[in-house]
Amino acid sequence: MALKHISEKTIGRLSLYRRLLYRSSLAGQNNVYSHQIAALSGSTPAQVRRDLMAIGYSGSPNRGYKVGELIKSIGDFLDDPEGMRVGLVGVGNLGRAILSYFSGRRPKLAIVAAFDVDPNKTNRIIHGCRTYATSDFPKVAKEENICEGIITTPADTAQATAEMLVNAGIRGILNFAPVCLKVPPEVFTADIDMTMTLEKVAYFARK
């Protein structure tokens, strides 16, 4: 099924299922049922079955799903066969934490270059990733075949950074800067505003 026919929420759930299945595999579990996946993911068995049917995978009523095969099936659907190469702009505390977290975690989704305006951070290897001057992004993106960008810059430079990424051919941006980016409609952007999320948690925590 074409990616455009799958909702963002479904893609998010499939990613979560795969992460949970990795843990099950490491624990030695070979088979899993939809109700088990649902319990771990906060979903329902029917929703799990619909999501997995959407990617063309079905299990057995008696044995459920084979964990290894299901991980592969989700990976075949979510991952680009050639792999997705990512560039991160903004090597501050958050940027470094993201580099550390993703180092070696996903072979088909890798941060291959980082960028910063601070000359003290460039021409270095940080958490296994070479850091370049931000102005070098267009050239490095072409050389490294970067197709996705992560923005962890201050808010006042995030929009200019996004425009640079778009002009360099980037069509997917994960934005951690606390600002709404203005990008062309063909560029997919996901915003993660940690301050807003923390304030929401704090509000409901005191209720």
Q: What pLDDT score does 1 carry?
A: 40
Point out the least confidently predicted range of 39-43, 100-104, 115-119, 124-128: 100-104
Residue 59's pLDDT band, with cuts at 50, 70 and 90, is: confident
If you count them, how many residues does the chain have? Answer: 207
Domains of the chain listed by start with CATH number:
3-77 (1.10.10.10), 84-196 (3.40.50.720)
* Locus of tokens 């470094």: 96
Distance between start and end Cα atoms, the chain:
43
Averaged pLDDT, 24-31:
94
Q: pLDDT tens, 13-23?
A: 999 999 999 99
In terms of C-beta density within 10 A (0-12 exposed, 13-18 middle, 19 or more buried), how is residue 79 classed?
Answer: middle
pLDDT band at 2 (very low <50, low <70, confident <90, very high): very low
pLDDT one-digit tens code per residue, 106-146: 777 899 999 999 999 999 999 999 999 999 999 999 999 99
pLDDT for 50 equals 93
Averaged pLDDT for residues 179-196: 93
Q: Tell me what pLDDT residue 25 has.
A: 94
Residue 137's nearest CA partner among 150, 156, 120, 124 is: 150
Could you tell me which residues come within 8 angstroms of residue 47 by beta carbon, excluding any fewer than 6 positions away?
Answer: 13, 38
Question: What are the start-end ranges of the E strands in 67-122?
Answer: 84-89, 109-116
